[in-house]
Amino acid sequence: MAETRIHPMAVVEPGAQIGEGVQIGPFCVVGPKVRLGDGVVLKSHVVVAGDTSIGPETVVFPFASIGEVPQDLKFQGESTRLVIGARNRIREHVTMNPGTEGGGGLTQVGDDGLFMAGSHVAHDCMIGDRVILVNHASVAGHCVLGDDVIVGGLSGVHQWVRIGQGAMIGAVTMVTADVIPHGLVQGPRGHLDGLNLVGLKRRGASRAEISELRALLGDLAQGSFRDTARARHDTSTGRTREVLDFILGPSDRSFLTPRPASEAR
C-alpha cells in the first residue's frame, strides 16, 4: 500500500479518519466526520462533508461535492449519513447527498460504480453495485437502483422510483414510474420499450431466458401488470421470476435490502 499523502493546501479537519495510502490533492476540504477507506484518492478541489464514509480505492475527481446537506427544504440539520462503497469512480462536478430524517437517514451507494461528470444522487437513495450514471443524469430523492443499472446522459429519475437490476434508461429520458429488472426505457417521458438485451447478454443470459422474458413482456402488454404477474408467478423461474417478484413486491426501499457497503477506515 502506498503511503498516505495529503497536499499542504488541502484542509483535513480534526476528527476525520484517513485510511492507509489515501491521497488528498490541493484545495480539497475533508470534514470532521468523514471516513476515507484505504487507497481513496481525492484529486483536487473535492469537498467531502457531513457523516460520510467512502470505501477503499474509490477515486473522486475535481469539483465533486460529496456529503453536503440534502437539497430538501424539510431538512433541518438532523444527523444523517452517506455511505459510498469501494472502487467507485466519481467524476467532475458530481453531487451526492446524505439522507433525511423522514427518509430513513441514509443514502447508500454500492461498489464499482461509475458516476460521470455532473451526475447527481439525491437524499435517501439506495444505489446498487456496478451502476453507471452517464453525464448529468440525476436521481431524485428516495429512489432505489438495483445492481448493473445504467442511466443515460441528461436523464432524470423521479423521486420514489425503483429501477430493477440490469435495467437501462436511454439518454434524455424522464422516468416517472418503476422500471422492471432488465427493462429498457427511453423517450422524453419514458415508457417500457423492451428488454436491455445488451446487458442481459453481458451477464450470461441464455437464449431461452431471453425468449421467456420476451414472452412475459408480451403477456404484460395485454392486461394488468399485477394480475398477469400473479398468474405466472408460481410457474416461473430465474430472471422471469425476478421480474415478477419486482412487480408484486412493495414499492419502497425494501426492494433493495440495505447492506453494509465496503467499510471505510
Closest CA to 28 of 10, 40, 16, 14: 10
The one catalytic residue in 120, 123, 136, 142 is 123
Grid coordinates in use for 77? 440539520
With cell 437517514, the residue in question is: 105
Instruction: Please tell me the distance from the alpha carbon of residue 120 to that of residue 150, in angstroms, as a whole number.
Output: 14
Q: How many residues does the chain have?
A: 265
Closest CA to 151 of 127, 242, 142, 160: 127
Instruction: Please tell me the distance from the alpha carbon of residue 178 to that of residue 187, in angstroms, as a whole number.
Output: 15
Q: Which residues contact 206 (CB under 8 A, 6 or more apart)?
A: none
For the question of residue 105 being annotated catalytic, the response is no
For the question of residue 223 being annotated catalytic, the response is no
The one catalytic residue in 103, 141, 156, 183 is 141
Instruction: Please tell me the distance from the alpha carbon of residue 12 to that of residue 120, in angstroms, as a whole number.
Output: 24
Grid coordinates in use for 254? 425494501
Closest CA to 115 of 98, 99, 97, 136: 136
The one catalytic residue in 124, 147, 148, 178 is 124
For the question of residue 124 being annotated catalytic, the response is yes
Beta bridge partners of 12: 30
Identify whether the C-beta of residue 50 lies closer than 8 Å to the C-beta of residue 32: no
Which residues are the active-site residues?
Answer: 123-124, 141
